[in-house]
C-alpha cells in the first residue's frame, strides 16, 4: 500500500480528492469582480490537479469544496460490504469526527466477518484472531480502531471533537489492517500458484509427512 499524501494548503503535490491520484497541483487566487471596479483579491483559492484537471476550492487554508476531510480513500482490496460505510465516514468526518469514528467501528465489525470471525463482538473477535497467531502490530491497530470507535458511540476518555486528527487516523488504520490481512496473503497466493505443478506436489507431499 503506497503512502497517502493528504491535500494540504499550498502544497505542490498531494493525492487529489477528486481522482485519487498523487499529482502536481496548480494554485490560483480567486478574485472578486465588481462592474466598473478593479478586481479585488479574495481569501479564496483553488488547487487544480494536473492529472484530472479538476479544481478543489479553499477558503483561507481550509478546503471547502469538496467537503471531505483529507483522509485516504478505501483500500483497493477493501471488501464491498465495508466500502459504503467507509466512504460515508469519509464524507462526514470533517463535520463530525465522532460520527465518523462510530461509522468506522461499524466498518471494522463488518471487516471481522470477512476475516472469518463472528462480527458480533469486536473485542472477542480480536481475541480469537490473536489466539490464531495474529501479529502484535495488527492486534494493536485493531484495538486502536475498536477503542476510538467506541468513544464515537459512547463518549469516554478520548475527546474526538477537540482532536479530529484521532478520527482521521482511523482511516489509515483500517487500510493498514486490510493490507496486512487481505492484500498480502492474496498477493502471495497469486504468486505461489504460478509455480510448476511438480513443485507444488512436492511441497504438498513434504507437508503431509511433517509430524
Taking only the tens of pLDDT, the chain with its 211 residues reads 567 787 888 999 988 888 878 899 999 999 988 887 888 889 999 999 999 999 999 988 888 888 766 788 899 999 999 999 999 998 888 778 888 889 999 999 999 999 999 988 999 999 999 999 999 999 999 998 988 888 766 666 666 666 778 888 899 999 999 999 999 999 999 998 898 988 888 888 888 876 6
Between CA 93 and CA 97 the distance in angstroms is 5
Q: How far apart are CA 68 and CA 88, in angstroms?
A: 10
For residue 86, which of 103, 69, 99, 110 has the smallest C-alpha distance? 103
Q: Could you tell me the three cell numbers for 2? A: 503506497
**Euclidean distance between CA atoms 202 and 46, whole angstroms:** 61
Cβ distance 90 to 104 under 8 Å? no
On whether the CB atoms of residues 139 and 126 are closer than 8 A, the answer is yes
- Cβ atoms of 155 and 86 within 8 Å: the answer is no
Measure CA of the first residue to CA of the last residue in the chain; give whole Å. Answer: 37
Amino acid at each position: 500500500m503506497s503512502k497517502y499524501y493528504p491535500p494540504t494548503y499550498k502544497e505542490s503535490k498531494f493525492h487529489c480528492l477528486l481522482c485519487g491520484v498523487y499529482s502536481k497541483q496548480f494554485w490560483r487566487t480567486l478574485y472578486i469582480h465588481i462592474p466598473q471596479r478593479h478586481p479585488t483579491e479574495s481569501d479564496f483559492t483553488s488547487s487544480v490537479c494536473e492529472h484530472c484537471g479538476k479544481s478543489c476550492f479553499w477558503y483561507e487554508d481550509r478546503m471547502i469544496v469538496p467537503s471531505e476531510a483529507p483522509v485516504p480513500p478505501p483500500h483497493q482490496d477493501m471488501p464491498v460490504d465495508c466500502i459504503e460505510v467507509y466512504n460515508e465516514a469519509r464524507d462526514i468526518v470533517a463535520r463530525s469526527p465522532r460520527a465518523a469514528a462510530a461509522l468506522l467501528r461499524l466498518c471494522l465489525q463488518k471487516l471481522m466477518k470477512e476475516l472469518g470471525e463472528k462480527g458480533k463482538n469486536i473485542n472477542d473477535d480480536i481475541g480469537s484472531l490473536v489466539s490464531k497467531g495474529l501479529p502484535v502490530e495488527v492486534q494493536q491497530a485493531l484495538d486502536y480502531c475498536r477503542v476510538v470507535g467506541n468513544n464515537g458511540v459512547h463518549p469516554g476518555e478520548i475527546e474526538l471533537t477537540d482532536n479530529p486528527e484521532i478520527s482521521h487516523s482511523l482511516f489509515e488504520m483500517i487500510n493498514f489492517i486490510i493490507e496486512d490481512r487481505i492484500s498480502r496473503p492474496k498477493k502471495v497466493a497469486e504468486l505461489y500458484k504460478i509455480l510448476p505443478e511438480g513443485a507444488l506436489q512436492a511441497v504438498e507431499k513434504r507437508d503431509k509427512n511433517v509430524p
